[in-house]
Every structure is written in structure tokens, then in C-alpha cells.
A = this chain, B = another copy of it.
């Protein structure tokens, strides 16, 4: 199966080149042919006026938490988690997580996100929904060592790996999901590390999200969370650390030396008043920093255009350095760096041989006029609703803003149904 995207602006090496063509064979980019006259292909996509970007990668989220969107806003993180989210999460089931995940996939695909990195519960259902939606995703069972079912959850995560890793034509990968140092004691994390080593499963963990978390860890272990993780040997396995808001210079050295990837979640960190991560410093130290939305409950959307804009803006304001994160750096974080966070070395760049996760952004909106620099427009003026076409693994998931793999009407109906089911406990009180 060959697809030709004709006459499109292609984002490469930090710039947009007009009037290019992209030839896709099966799930990979075959070439960028200068001439298209004698080319054989099965499917033609007119790229006139469009900007082709690598599909956006949401490097940290909890997809089924769409169902908590606007349920509990303007609260502090621990109040929000302990008093609102955790009690409601007790009522989740496979059916609810399936449709909550599908809702997230619809929103993400509509807005140009082609891959996600998730940590949550009922992950079989999440994987089923991802397989059906055609999106790319890394999934992990959220593991809390302090709970009675900590060891059972770890076994489930291994089972998830056996069942789903490389499923969906290679789109689905599985990670281990130890929640955070404050929910996973060192002994438990050592078991996670041993499991990761034994099966070769990468790790996805929340680290240094709040000042309080770091202070508690310091007073308990006389180490920062990152130093503690390092002492346990967690970072000897490939690790993705979400947040890293409150990190010391020494922490940054450890992350860089151990090739730990970081998922920066500007919207969520701001909304929960966690703070502003020192992203320019981490990038300068050579750390791969991707971008994530976190769950919809703390954002409240899964909109990578909004996150790229935030990433490009807030670090300039926080450091008073107008070059802190440039537009092309924010775009790199939302694409190539995100792909690396998910463990891919052949994703997130429009390049021959790379996986064909491509989005076409319509530049006909007023926010794109005039267009001197498509890259800075994508980041500073771009809108997720400008996305016209979405391809993952060479398959079209959206064309002319219409979802092709998700039945929108059914999804609306099911979202309403599972929302009622999830919150039935509130009526019962």
C-alpha cells in the first residue's frame, strides 16, 4: 500500500519547506520524491496549503481520566487527588475505562496527537480502545506499592506486557508504571526494577511533581526523589520520568547521566500549582524532554498545540530569557523528543525510513495570515482545530477533520452512558 501526499509544506530540520511530496509505503515514509509524474501509488492526498508535521506525541497522560474532566477544578494537588479523584476512581471498571480512553483518543486524534504514553488502571480496556482507534500508545498499569494489591498489580503489569507489547501492528508498547516514590516504597521499587530488568520493560514514573513531595522524601530518606531512585538502581532500566518540576542541579546531572527521559506537563503543573519545571536547564544538560498533557482532569484538555505553546511561552517568562525555548524547540519537544520518551528512535521526524505518523495542518485560518514562518505559527498561533488529516503507522485516522476509525455518534452516546454509571455512587450517598 502506497500513499502519496502531494504538494505539501514539510517540517524538517527546524524549518518548513514548501512544495514537497511524501511517499509512504505501508507504515513507513519511503521517500520525498521531487517528481511525482511517473510514481505508482494507491492513495493520493492533496497537501495544497497544508503543513505536514510529525504526529504530536503526548508523552504523559492518563487517558481515561477524560471522564473526570471538570469534575474537580481549582484545587490543590493532594486535596484534588485524595478527596475527589481517588474516591471516584474506585468506581471505574473495564467498560468505563474503554470509553473514557476512546473519548481521549477521539480528542487527541482530532487535535493531531498520534501517540500517547499512559499510566492507569484497567489497561486491557485502554489497549483494546487504542487498537480499535488506530492510535499509537505506550501503556502501563499504575502501581502503588503502599496498597494491599501492590504485588498483584505488578503481576498484572507483566501480564499486560506479555499480552499487548508490540500489538496493533507494533503501535502498542507496554511499560511498568510505578506511580511515584510517595506511593511506592524503596523495597517495592526494587521489585519493579528487578521485573523491568528481567523482562526488558521500560519504566514510567511520576517524579518531583510538587515541592511537598521532595521535602517529604528529603526528611524521610535524606535524599531527593531522584537521588533515591538512582540509589535503588531504577534508572539502570530505561525510564520516563513525568513532571520533574522540583529538581536540583545534582538531580539534573543524574537524569542526564542515566539517560532518563522527562515528560514535561506545563498545563497540569500550572493548574495544580505545582510550579514551573526548569526545562531549559534540563535540555541544556542533554536530557530528552517531551511534552504531555497529563490527565484531562488536571488540564482540562488533551491538546498538544496548547502544551507546545505553553512550553514555548512559560519558560521565557520564568527565566526572562527570550530564547529560553524557541518555537522549533517546542515543536521538537512535542514530536521527536516525545517519540524518544516512548522509546522510539524511528518516530517523530519526517524522514525516510521513519514510521509514517503524519498530520496535515490547514493553514487557511486567519491565525495563519500572513505566513512568514510556519514553524513559529504552528507553535504560537496554531490551534488543534486546524488539523485536517491524521495518519498513524501509514493508516488514515482522520481526513478533512472527520474521524475514520471512531464512530463519533456512538462515542457521544457511550460517553454519556459510562459517565452516569461512574458517578452513580454520588446518588447513593
Binding site for B on A (CB under 8 A): 66-67, 69-71, 73-77, 103, 106-107, 110, 211, 267, 269-276, 296, 299-303, 306, 309-310, 312-314, 316-324, 326-327, 365-367, 369-374, 376-377, 380-381, 383-385, 412, 415-416, 419
Contact = CB atoms under 8 A, between A and B. Distances in A.
Contact of A76 (B302, B322, B412): B322
Nearest to A329: B74
B316 A271 contact: yes
Contacts of A310: 310, 313
Contact of A367 (B276, B301, B319, B381): B301
Contacts of A270: 313-314, 316-317
A293 to B, nearest CB: 11
B106 A366 contact: yes
B383 A327 contact: no
Given A301-B381, A381-B70, A383-B383, A419 B370 contact: yes
Contacts of A103: 366, 369
B369 A324 contact: no
Given A74-B376, A327-B73, A381-B69, A367 B107 contact: yes
Contacts of A412: 369
Contacts of A107: 366-367
A271, A366, A371: most-surrounded residue (chain B CB, <10 A): A366
Number of identical monomers bound together in the oligomeric complex:
2
A371 B68 CA distance: 9
A303 to B, nearest CB: 7
A64 to B, nearest CB: 12
Contact of A415 (B77, B370, B376): B370
A416 B49 CA distance: 14
A419 B302 CA distance: 35
Contacts of A275: 317, 320
Given A70-B370, A303-B367, A272 B322 contact: yes
Nearest to A109: B366
A212 B365 CA distance: 36
15 contacts: A69-B369, A70-B373, A70-B380, A70-B381, A71-B370, A71-B372, A71-B373, A73-B327, A74-B327, A270-B316, A273-B319, A273-B321, A301-B367, A303-B381, A310-B310
